[in-house]
Amino acid sequence: MAENETVFIIDDDAGIRDSLSLLVESVGYRPKPYASGVAFLESEKPEAVGCMLVDVQMPDLNGLQLQQELSNRHFHLPVIIMTGHGDVPIAVQAMKAGAVDFLEKPFNDDVLLDCISRALARLASADDAANAAREAEKRLTQLTERERQVLDLIVAGKANKVIAYELSISPRTVEIHRSRVMEKMDAGNLADLVRMVLSIKP
């Protein structure tokens, strides 16, 4: 099923490039690793097909800058952003700029492969996307006013402590609201939640 589908791996860490290449190859994808965004752009053409795993923190071009350059050059590859701990606000920015998913390092192999599978299946029909947006909008109406405030700040990339300060509530209360938001929105993780919210925003 995965045969001939290419996964472009952009990471300045050779060890990560090698391990990700072995992983995607083990399930039948064709890995194409690059040490930088610049190296990718010098080698690939806009008609390239597949998906991209992009580390957000890189010298020369970081993940966000690479995304912008991909857009400028009319690449249409779905991008999965890989982030370190504490880079969630950047990952949210990346999703607002068009990334299809993000993963926080260290991540589980199965979670990564699931993300790749979703990214490669992104050519789903417009009807499917519209149905998903309608479903997300329906779930949104189930949130209380406070839960909606917490959701908006989560999607803005704010940490729990910052949300607590801005809403004048305790970090523990934020955690409770956050848990309820995830449950009511039926979001498996933060990337799911951000994707849902962005799908229903004009």
For each of the domains in the chain, give its residue range(s) and CATH number, in order of start.
6-120 (3.40.50.2300), 126-195 (1.10.10.10)
Decide: 25 and 46 in contact? Cβ < 8 Å. no
Across 37-41, 77-81, 83-87, least confident range: 83-87
CA distance 40 to 60: 12
Compute CA distances 13 → 38, 147, 159, whole Å: 15, 39, 27
What pLDDT is recorded for position 1?
Answer: 46
* DSSP strand pairing (101-104 vs 79-83): parallel
Average pLDDT on 168-181 reads 95
Listed residue (21, 6, 11, 98) closest to 62, CA to CA: 11
**Whether pLDDT at 145 is above 60:** yes
Predicted TM-score (pTM) of the model is: 0.73
Confidence of residue 202 (pLDDT cuts 50, 70, 90): low
CA distance 35 to 202: 36
Decide: 124 and 100 in contact? Cβ < 8 Å. no
